[in-house]
Structure 1
Amino acid sequence: MNAKTKKRMIVVTGVIVMVLILILAIVGGSTAAKTISLADAASGQYVDQRVQVTGNVVENSYTTTGNVLTFSIYDPDSEDGSTLSVSYDGAAASTFGNDVTAICTGKIGDDGVLYASEMVTKCPSKYESGTEALTVDRMMGYGSDITGTTVRVTGKIQAGSQNAAGQGDRFVLEDADTGATVSVLFDGAVSEETLADGASVVLTGNLTEDGKFSATNVALAE
């Protein structure tokens, strides 16, 4: 290889490297999200910019149309009562629910809505003793005699039965000994650990007339 050919290859290689650097810079710049507060997101100064906003889901603010989940979030550390509307085009995790912390990433539209392409939910794990709680089999055995009465029941999460809040029954509770089951209604926040397949949990709530358990609290069994 003569000197002229070597020089030409060096120049071509240099151009390729520069183009790759430019492409990476453009791609990186377009996907990076700026973390801002909910108040900043609601101010209108970040329209059409890719941002990440964290807030808690406003109680019963969520609806699902097709595959689009819409809801509102608020800042639990702020007293001004500001909320931000979010539209998420994707499947919500089973941990989604009232007052759960939602980390939303996307672009804010001219209408002030955060159109999220990514969403992560989280909430603190809670534990509760299962002492004196009824088993599923024992509770169901009482039938109508226990309907509407606040009780505590313990069992395990049936594998594959979990749904996000607002998308039907939240999960199925199974008796670890007999295999008896009951469908559970619950719209509150709950951790991924609590809703894991086979997790032992303690529920507080009441048996409804249609034979489902309406829970007011879901906790991991100690």
Structure 2
Amino acid sequence: MNTRTKRRMMAVTGIIVIVLVVILAVVGGSGAAKSATVADAVAGKYADQKIQVTGNVVENSYATNDNVLTFAIYDKDGNPAEQLNVRYEGGVSATFGNDVTAICTGKVAGDGVLHATELVTKCPSKYENASSALSVSRLLEYGDQVVDKPVKVSGTVQAGSLKAVGAGDRFVLADPDSGKTLPVAFDGALSDEIAEGSSLVITGSLSADGRFTATNVALEG
């Protein structure tokens, strides 16, 4: 083997070593997160380690400021008074809301807050029969007779109206026959199957200003 061939082999070997080092560094830096409970995360057992914590969103604990979502979660099978504060930079999905199951991945910083880089929400599908529901048009015809009274209404989600929790009216319910619309406020979690044009059955009450506050939102089925 001549000197030139030896040098060439050494160079190739060096490149391979460098590539392997880079791959190991990337894999090591993005290793799988350790599963942790809310209680362990609150206790600081995994300080500055990448962990994944699953919990339910504490009612009305969320706020969004400059695309930063802050909220608290609790373990539904543990002590409800033990809560972990979470900070997440990113868009809020329509499935986020009160008591929804949130899977949060990130690190607990010195402030005791889980700074999440990943957020996944799980909301079970809900279906309800529309046979006893009023149409949007029929509801509006009743006017003051149904204000602040519990009613069930059916309709479709108006295009472009579906929003994340905390961004104003959650969606607008439209009557596909008459075109009449009804703004709907809802702070719970929506099924990830709900989209523009989905047929819904909602339960709640109509306020004097014409806004409907829903306590339950289900897909028509």
TM-score, L = length of structure 1:
0.93
Q: Which residue of 2 aligns with 1:39?
A: 39
AA in 1 matched with 2:208:
E
AA in 2 matched with 1:16:
I
Q: Which residue of 1 aligns with 2:6?
A: 7
- Seen in structure 2, the aligned counterparts of structure 1 residues 5 and 159 have a Cα distance that, compared at 3 Å, is farther
Q: Distance in 1 between matches of 2:80 and 2:101?
A: 18
Q: Kindly indicate whether residue 177 of structure 2 is the aligned counterpart of residue 177 of structure 1.
A: yes
User: Do 1:106 and 1:115's aligned partners in 2 also have CA atoms closer than 8 Å?
Assistant: yes
Q: Distance in 2 between matches of 1:21 and 1:142?
A: 72
**For 1:211, what is the secondary structure of its paired residue?**
coil
Q: Distance in 1 between matches of 2:204 and 2:130?
A: 14
Aligned pairs (5 A) from 1:50-199: 50-79=50-79, 81-193=81-193, 195-199=194-198
- Seen in structure 2, the aligned counterparts of structure 1 residues 3 and 209 have a Cα distance that, compared at 3 Å, is farther
Query: What is the Cα deviation at residue 119 of structure 1?
Result: 0.8
Q: Which runs of 5+ in 1 are unaligned?
A: none
Runs of 4+ in 1 over 4 A off after TM superposition: none
User: Do 1:156 and 1:201's aligned partners in 2 also have CA atoms closer than 8 Å?
Assistant: yes
Q: Distance in 2 between matches of 1:38 and 1:23?
A: 34
Query: What is the Cα deviation at residue 43 of structure 1?
Result: 1.7
User: Do 1:103 and 1:121's aligned partners in 2 also have CA atoms closer than 8 Å?
Assistant: yes
Describe the superposition over 1:59-98 as per-residue Cα deviations: whole angstroms up to 9, x where unpaired: 1111122221111001112246321000111121111100
TM-score, L = length of structure 2:
0.94
**For 2:94, what is the secondary structure of its paired residue?**
coil
Q: Which residue of 1 aligns with 2:20?
A: 21
Q: Distance in 2 between matches of 1:140 and 1:10?
A: 82
**For 2:18, what is the secondary structure of its paired residue?**
helix
User: Do 2:156 and 2:176's aligned partners in 1 also have CA atoms closer than 8 Å?
Assistant: yes
User: Do 1:147 and 1:206's aligned partners in 2 also have CA atoms closer than 8 Å?
Assistant: yes
Q: Kindly indicate whether residue 213 of structure 2 is the aligned counterpart of residue 214 of structure 1.
A: yes
User: Do 1:31 and 1:50's aligned partners in 2 also have CA atoms closer than 8 Å?
Assistant: no
AA in 1 matched with 2:49:
Q
**For 2:22, what is the secondary structure of its paired residue?**
helix
Q: Which runs of 5+ in 2 are unaligned?
A: none
AA in 2 matched with 1:103:
I
Q: Distance in 1 between matches of 2:179 and 2:80?
A: 49
Give aligned-pair identity as a percent. 52
**For 2:56, what is the secondary structure of its paired residue?**
strand
Describe the superposition over 1:15-65 as per-residue Cα deviations: whole angstroms up to 9, x where unpaired: 212211211221222223222222221121212222211111001111122
Query: What is the Cα deviation at residue 212 of structure 1?
Result: 1.0
Q: Distance in 2 between matches of 1:19 and 1:54?
A: 38
